[in-house]
Amino acid sequence: MMNTNETENICGLKREDFQTTINGKKTDLYILRNDKGNEVAITNYGGAIVAIMVPDKDGKMANVIQGHDNIEEVINSPEPYLSTLIGRYGNRICKGKFQLHGKEYSLPINNGPNSLHGGKKGFNAKVWDALQMNENSLVLKYVSPYGEEGYSGEVKVTVVYSFTNDNELVIEYMATTNKKTIINLTSHGFFSLSGIANPTPTIDNLICEINADYYLPIDETSIPTGEIRFVKGTPFDFRTPKPVGQDIDADDEQIKNGAGYDHCYVLNKKEEGELSFAAKITEPVSGRTMEVYTTEPGVQLYTDNWADGYKGQNGATFPRRSGICFEAQHFPDSPNHPYFPSVVLNPGEQYKQKTIYKFGVNK
């Protein structure tokens, strides 16, 4: 097992602070590095990304993702999905119910009247088996047993994190099942491009572009209504870059339903499953940029509408709207909307997803 120079990392996180044993499985901290000397730090508890160290326009390093600096705080975070992997089903399923091969399934209710992010103990709260392949890639594996959180089938999941010399954090997902089931995996990174701080600055001034002509309106419990709505003339139009804060509190029913942005965008695609540009954010002061590319049909834009200033790594605090999430995924509540892209996985098939978060600077 490789974990070189863990004492010399630039993120200031200590490996021993992430080491414990949970139900016989060991947790640890893994550092990925590229040849530019930038870093990504990940723990195998929930696959949580706890640091992404990248430079600003003057070469100054900062951590641009929200997380914690020890395993106890990761486990007990006020935000249980803070920069973690999400499964078996990212986002919401209406009233926790769906039908599959003529049978109704019931999932735990953990978000208003609905089931969110895989239930009460989703993939974000599991210890994954970890193998660091080399300095820039980490393989995580988890076997979700039959019936876990109410889902059918035993599902074997592999997630590979790699950090390229182009400052791309690449996340590749694969999964198989032994019985027909549904699956919708994602990564719930809370990005703060100005760098985490005490307090971490608001995301209002980020310039954001989203490659989507349509989005999914939601009801007051955040379930898609079934409509696929044109963004033109709404606060949801990011086809031309604009500040995140410009319309975040607009007098708009959809903004009110999400308490800000908490909506799935229907990404513009030439063909299903192609790896294509989804979104870009630019932080005007530091010059840092992040581009998102994904094979998924949708991306959930979430503007951290519920944070309250809780404590994160290295003394940082995370006030409301200090992070932004681009959760690449299939659409929320897809099992209950037959015309949404299918989330069914059959035995003998392989679920695959690839999402890239690419960091850069505008000089």
Q: Note the Cα 344 to chain centre separation in Å.
A: 21
Q: How many CA atoms lie within 13 A of 363 on its CB side?
A: 1
SS3 253: helix
Q: How far apart are CA 104 and CA 167, in angstroms?
A: 44
Catalytic member of 68, 117, 188, 263: 188
**Per-residue CA distances from 138 to 22, 75, 77, 355 (Å):** 20, 21, 23, 15
Which amino acid belongs to residue 65?
A: I
Annotation marks residue 296 as catalytic = no
Who contacts 271 (Cβ-Cβ below 8 Å, separation ≥6)? Answer: none
Dihedrals φ, ψ of 255, to 5°? -60, -40
- Displacement of CA 282 from its chain's centroid (Å): 18
Of residues 149, 209, 291, 327, which has the active-site annotation? 327
| Cα–Cα distance, 201 to 214 (Å, whole number) | 29
101 is catalytic: no
Catalytic center residues: 188, 327
